[in-house]
Amino acid sequence: MSKNKKGRSKSNRKPSVKPTTAGQSRASVKTPEAAAEAVTEDTVTQAEQTMEESKAEKASKSTESTAKSQKTQKDSKTGQATDKKNFFENLSDKNRVMILGGICILCAAFIIFRFVSLEIKVSKLDNKVSLLETQKQEILDEKDKSEKELNEQIALLSEKVAITLVKEDEEEANRVPSGLPVTGKVSIIREPLTEEQIAELEAQSEPGEGDVEIHEDNKIVVFGAQNGSTVIAAGQGSVTAVEPDETYGYVVKIDHGNGYETLYRTSTAPKVKVGDDVLKGQLLFDIDANNSEIGYQILYKEECINPMDIMEING
């Protein structure tokens, strides 16, 4: 600041005019414009010098301030270290033991805390494992239960299938005409003709006469029944015809659905009608007179067969 003031005081001073001789005055005499220009140049030069000096002074002060700050920080750290050293050096043995004991207690507390934390985590993991084991056992129990139920259902279904098959077999067996078609006191009046008897009848008959009658009668069984006897279905089937018969009075025809058909002929009124489904042994006729004749025939695939063969095999 003093230099700046000095610079300003120098710049404000008026230029001194030295006395000159006569010869010099002629040579150095200047115009007012030239004198003003010279004064301005001096002023600018002095200002520049002042600014440079100010910058240099600021830089020097900043460097000194930084150095002092660093030294202060270093001294402070050194002082703190020294203070700590002095603090521990000044402690008595009793105080040192107390401090070390406190540190040991803190370490022990930390170790116990960590141990307890680990125990808690292990306990939680054990609980999760136990829960998973319980869920696994429940799943296994449910699986066993499902397998047991499935086996029971399979067994039940197998039983139903077996029963169904047995019923189907029984039904199929019941559809085959077997046994006697009459109940009560009965006797066989006439058995079907043999092949030789049929051939003899055909030879005796005139061409074109009696072929149908011989064909119809050649394999028929005629029973003699007493009052109170009944005519029953020889097998399960459906009634396909109920018609008058010139020889016996009435004829009932049953289709058994397996290629077999049976015909029942007698003089009393039938107890069934066309379209009825009948079971094996179901009533077809009531015999209300003694010595009534019952004609019985069996067809298989529209061909007459000997009823005695079926009755012998099945009943």
Give the list of residues 6+ apart from residue 259 with CB closer than 8 angstroms, or none: 300, 301
What's the pLDDT score for residue 87?
Answer: 61
The amino acid at 21: T
What's the pLDDT score for residue 169?
Answer: 85
Nearest Cα residue to 237 out of 194, 275, 202, 271: 275
Could you tell me the CA-to-CA distances from 206 to 136, 169, 201, 209, 214 in Å, in that order?
A: 94, 47, 10, 5, 12
Residue numbers in the chain where pLDDT is lower than 50? 1-29, 210-215, 313-315
3-state DSSP assignment of residue 31: coil
What's the pLDDT score for residue 49?
Answer: 78
Nearest Cα residue to 182 out of 211, 215, 223, 218: 223
Structure tokens given for 309: 């063969």
Structure tokens given for 311: 């009755």
What's the pLDDT score for residue 72?
Answer: 76
The model's pLDDT over 91-115, given as tens digits with 9 standing for 90+, comes to 667 777 888 888 999 999 999 999 9
* DSSP character at residue 246: T
Is there a contact between 297 and 263 (Cβ–Cβ < 8 Å)?
A: yes
Give the list of residues 6+ apart from residue 257 with CB closer than 8 angstroms, or none: 175, 237, 238
Backbone angles phi, psi at 307, to 5 degrees: -60, -25
